[in-house]
């Protein structure tokens, strides 16, 4: 145990306190092997997986970086992460899996605080202004958004602060003030205002442009997302005529990429903000054969089944908890020729495959995609057909 702790510390000085990278002490080759083996074992009753899709450069992949701000005992500003399962701040300047520019910007912001007399927020006393910094980067566009999360809407000499930060980092394309005055573990509050640039960034994925606002959902590993979606499209085998449903569609990324090769696409999603972003993304990319619905995916599919609506290909990407029995029953009733199941949790994936197998589907192909190197998370895509 002590030996393991030492190896971890060599790669990352805060690994044992952070707990984010469960596999920091494994080489990348070993990580891929372990993920591949555990996936193969889980999938054994259903399908032999293709070779796992890993990263060429498995470091610094996270396009979204968060730092919590606070003070040490001498009232010096510190920034970093919460210690695992606590609210103590562990100072971090650079992280193995985070975008490096983002990490540097966070260090610069910390360095500017004193001369601008900005105090980090103190959770216990409620004094201080700066609670968090969130940085989101566009991999293909190079755009960078800095979100300063404050405890109050008033930031003294904010224009000069913006000037000073841009002087150090001219690559920043937008800066947003977000106000979070609640006693909460959520990072972002509800009010926000752009104090430099347009208030959001854009990124490109699968040849489409997507808008990323401070709070919108967007996959955190852009390099692997490209490969994941390409695999999903390969499995979908679209020819231009099909009716496709993108279930659990988030901001519509998969459905929009599918829309180029499909007759028409429907997207269904439970989160109101995600649906709003999906609609604006479709408009931004001038896609006219897609429609998004704000609904529970299971209820929506049940309605489709009752109205006997035809469906050729079902794309589904449920959350960690997997799909619901209602959804899967309705899917079997509608009986699309192909189901492409994207999963971020192989355990619930296998549970759902078991159900669909009983309804006459067979898993034809499957593959694991390593979206989160250095962690134990496995993402997978499966193709099912009758």
The residue ranges that bind ligand SAH (CB under 6 A) are: 217, 219, 248-250, 253-254, 268-271, 274, 296-297, 317, 319
* 109 versus 302: smaller Cβ distance to ligand SAH: 302
What are residue 384's phi and psi, to 5 degrees? Answer: -120, 145
Residues forming a β-bridge with 80: 68, 91
Cα 212 to Cα 6, 202, 248, 357: the distances in Å are 39, 6, 18, 38
CB of 186 to ligand SAH, least distance (A): 16
Q: Kindly report the number of other CB atoms within 10 A of residue 279's CB atom.
A: 17
How far apart are CB 267 and ligand SAH at their closest, in Å? 9
Rg (CA), the chain: 22
Q: How far is the CB of 250 from ligand SAH (least distance, A)?
A: 3
Q: How far is the CB of 70 from ligand SAH (least distance, A)?
A: 31
344 is catalytic: yes
Residues with Cβ within 8 Å of 73's Cβ and at least 6 positions away in sequence, in order, are none
- Nearer of residues 203 and 317 to ligand SAH, judged by Cβ: 317
In the numeric block, the tokens 């549970």 are attached to: 351
* Residue 22 or 271 having the CB closest to ligand SAH: 271
Report the C-alpha gap between 244 and 145 in whole angstroms: 34
In the numeric block, which tokens belong to residue 311?
Answer: 């469906």
Give the other-Cβ count within 10 Å of 207's Cβ. Answer: 11
Residue 249 CB, nearest distance to ligand SAH (Å)? Answer: 5
When the beta carbons of 77 and 339 are compared against ligand SAH, the nearer one is 339
The 10 Å Cβ neighbour count of residue 116 is: 17
Closest to ligand SAH by CB, 248 vs 372, is 248
CB of 385 to ligand SAH, least distance (A): 21
Q: How far is the CB of 35 from ligand SAH (least distance, A)?
A: 19
The H helix count followed by the E strand count for the chain is: 11, 16
- Among the listed residues 12, 344, 366, 382, the single catalytic one is 344
Listed in sequence order, the residues at least 6 apart from 183 whose beta carbon sits closer than 8 Å to its beta carbon are none
Neighbours of 280 (CB within 10 A): 15
| Residue sitting closest to ligand SAH (CB) | 250
Among residues 243 and 271, whose Cβ is nearest to ligand SAH? Answer: 271
d(CA 371, CA 378): 7
What's 101-114 look like in SS3? Answer: HHHHHHHHHHHHHH
How far apart CA 304 and CA 44 sit, in angstroms, is 33
Closest CB to ligand SAH among 118 and 205? 205
> Catalytic positions, please?
344
């Amino acid at each position: 145990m002590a030996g393991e702790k030492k190896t971890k510390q060599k790669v990352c000085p805060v690994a044992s306190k952070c707990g984010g990278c469960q596999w920091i002490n494994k080489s990348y080759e070993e990580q891929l092997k372990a993920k591949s083996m555990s996936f193969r074992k889980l999938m054994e009753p259903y399908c032999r997986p293709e070779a796992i899709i890993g990263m060429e450069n498995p470091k610094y992949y996270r396009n979204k970086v968060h730092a919590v701000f606070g003070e040490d005992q001498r009232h010096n500003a510190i920034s970093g992460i919460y210690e695992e399962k606590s609210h103590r701040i562990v100072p971090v300047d650079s992280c193995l899996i985070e975008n490096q520019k983002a990490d540097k910007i966070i260090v610069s912001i910390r360095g500017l605080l004193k001369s601008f007399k900005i105090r980090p927020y103190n959770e216990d006393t409620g004094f201080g202004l700066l609670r968090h910094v969130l940085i989101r980067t566009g991999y293909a566009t190079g755009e960078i958004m800095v979100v300063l999360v404050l405890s109050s809407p008033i930031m003294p000499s904010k224009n000069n602060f913006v000037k000073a930060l841009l002087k150090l980092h001219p690559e920043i394309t937008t800066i947003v003030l977000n106000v979070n005055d609640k006693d909460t573990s959520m990072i972002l509050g509800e009010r926000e205002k752009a104090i430099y640039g347009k208030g959001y960034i854009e990124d490109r994925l699968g040849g489409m442009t997507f808008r990323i606002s401070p709070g919108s959902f967007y996959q955190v590993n852009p390099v692997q997302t490209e490969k994941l979606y390409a695999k999903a499209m390969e499995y979908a085998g679209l020819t231009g005529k099909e009716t496709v449903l993108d279930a659990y569609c988030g901001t519509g990324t998969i459905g929009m990429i599918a829309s180029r090769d499909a007759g028409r696409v429907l997207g269904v999603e439970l989160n109101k903000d995600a649906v709003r972003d999906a609609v604006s993304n479709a408009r931004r990319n001038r896609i006219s054969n897609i429609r998004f619905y704000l609904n529970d995916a299971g209820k929506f599919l049940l309605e489709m089944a009752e109205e006997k609506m035809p469906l050729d290909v079902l794309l589904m990407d449920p959350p960690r908890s997997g799909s619901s029995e209602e959804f899967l029953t309705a899917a079997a009733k509608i009986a699309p020729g192909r189901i492409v199941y994207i999963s971020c949790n192989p355990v619930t994936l296998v549970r759902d495959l078991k159900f669909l197998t009983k309804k006459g589907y067979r898993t034809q192909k499957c593959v694991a995609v390593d979206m989160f190197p250095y962690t134990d998370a496995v993402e997978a895509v499966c193709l099912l057909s009758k």
